[in-house]
Amino acid sequence: EKGGYDTFMEKEINEQPRAVGETLLGRTDESGALVLDELRIPEEALRRVGRITIVACGTAAYAGMVAKYAIERWTRIPVEVALAHEFRYCDPIVDEQTLVVSISQSGETMDTLMAVKHARELGAQTIAICNTHGSTIPRESDAVLYTHAGPEVAVASTKAFLAQITACYVLGLYLAQLRGGSYADDAKAVMAELQEVPAKIEALLGSLDRVREIARFMADTRAVLFLGRQVGFPVAMEGALKLKELAYIHAEGFAAGELKHGPIALIEPGQPVFIVVPGPDTPHGLHGKVVSNIQEIRARGARTLVIAQEGDDAVVPFADEVIRVPRTSPMLQPLLTTVPLQVFALELSTAKGLDVDQPRNLAKSVTVE
């Protein structure tokens, strides 16, 4: 049932092109416009939404963080991301104009379920982004947008994460189209670009031998840092989480701009640091700012493991290793930049002889508070 792979995680990493493709399937009409009939919330109510709160835990919460950047950019609706267990007990500001979007692979995470129930009591409209048909969270929500990643068995989430991000993009583009803002006209074009991503993930998966090699040489590493900016920031945190979960290595993800405000103190000779570099066409010159960050930490002796787009030569002088990802537009990059970090954690865990699919102390779905 592992389809020829040694572990479920490896299988699921390799199923990601399909997970993304299936999640996009059937969500556009012949003209390329988005159709989400399944949402079952009246269009009028969706047009009136004044704010969005995303509730989730773990990896799903990082998908929510990516969604915040995309949905705010495309719809201009303010989006907040709350860890579900914090949301429930912080007297959240929620009313009838609030759309609460939960993200959960299993649909059974108790913390997330409680947050959804609480939001409904407060009068919010609730949408579940979920991978498991007929599970509890979709049943307790007003509407559901299913991710079609297929069953995920490995405890550490991989294909469900990319499918969640994909579903969030779809929701954001749909809302943009519905509300007719300045991005409404672009929704089709972004959707068309999304359709090209599965093939790009496929190509990327075939090019990661060097990442595996790096990981195998790092089995004795005690700490790894991850830097990212804008949508690369949650990717950095997800990369760190994967390494904690699978290889029991202390790992932390930072926003690259935060480096000088503290984390740079951790840089000493030989410290491995992954840097998720935004594409050169990212607005506000963020690419150049992150390249400067790489330069700064390299000057202090860090070992820089740089994830950068094909053709981005600016990173080369400051990189100990360059891991290339195919080009896509800046907002969609997490669907690609996450993949090498998953493979890195998988390979390092394997090199340490650990149980990749069943890491210690973790459960696939936590059904207690």
Residue 314 touches ligand BG6, criterion: CB under 6 A: no
Distance CA 251, CA 243 (A): 7
Residue whose structure tokens are 């202090």? 300
Interface with ligand BG6 in residues 152-171 (CB under 6 A): 155-157
Counting residues that bind ligand BG6 (by CB under 6 A) gives 16
Residue 112 touches ligand BG6, criterion: CB under 6 A: yes
Nearer to ligand BG6, 158 or 350 (CB): 158
Percent helix, percent strand, percent coil in the chain, to nearest 5 = 50, 15, 35
Among 34, 46, 55, 60, binds ligand BG6 (CB under 6 A): 60
Residue 58 touches ligand BG6, criterion: CB under 6 A: yes
- Find the shortest distance in angstroms from Cβ 154 to ligand BG6: 9
Distance CA 266, CA 244 (A): 18
- Find the shortest distance in angstroms from Cβ 358 to ligand BG6: 11
- Find the shortest distance in angstroms from Cβ 286 to ligand BG6: 27
Residue 65 touches ligand BG6, criterion: CB under 6 A: no
Residue 366 touches ligand BG6, criterion: CB under 6 A: yes
Interface with ligand BG6 in residues 175-234 (CB under 6 A): none
Question: For residue 250, what are the β-bridge partners?
Answer: 223
| DSSP track, 52-93 | EEEEE-THHHHHHHHHHHHHHHHH---EEEEEHHHHTTS---
Q: Are 341 and 238 in contact (CB under 8 A)?
A: yes
Interface with ligand BG6 in residues 332-361 (CB under 6 A): none
CA–CA distances in Å: residue 217 to residues 239, 339, 351, 362: 18, 19, 9, 26
**Cα 164–chain centre separation:** 7
Among 59, 125, 271, 282, binds ligand BG6 (CB under 6 A): 59
Q: Give the DSSP H or E segment for 347.
A: helix 334-351
Residue 106 touches ligand BG6, criterion: CB under 6 A: yes
Residue 105 touches ligand BG6, criterion: CB under 6 A: yes
- Find the shortest distance in angstroms from Cβ 242 to ligand BG6: 9
Nearer to ligand BG6, 106 or 177 (CB): 106
Binding window for ligand BG6 (CB under 6 A); candidates: 17-25, 103-111, 261-269, 291-299: 103-111
Evaluate the CA torsion angle 324, 329, 331, 336 in order and state its sign. negative
Distance CA 304, CA 292 (A): 12
- β-sheet with 125-130: strand ranges across: 79-83, 51-56, 98-104, 125-130, 143-146
Nearer to ligand BG6, 49 or 343 (CB): 343
Binding window for ligand BG6 (CB under 6 A); candidates: 23-31, 42-50, 151-159, 289-297: 151-159
Q: Which of 188, 244, 289, 364 is catalytic?
A: 364
Nearer to ligand BG6, 154 or 208 (CB): 154
- Find the shortest distance in angstroms from Cβ 103 to ligand BG6: 7
Q: In the annotation, is 364 catalytic?
A: yes
Nearer to ligand BG6, 212 or 364 (CB): 364
DSSP secondary structure letter of residue 234: H
Residue 104 touches ligand BG6, criterion: CB under 6 A: yes
Q: Where are the beta strands (DSSP E) in 211-317?
A: 223-228, 250-255, 272-276, 303-309
Distance CA 204, CA 166 (A): 17
Buried b (16+ CB within 10 A) or exposed e, 144-175: bbbbbbeebebbbbbbbbbbbbbbbbbbbbbb
Q: Which residues bind to ligand BG6, rule: CB under 6 A?
A: 57-60, 104-106, 109, 112, 155-157, 362-363, 365-366
Catalytic residues: 364
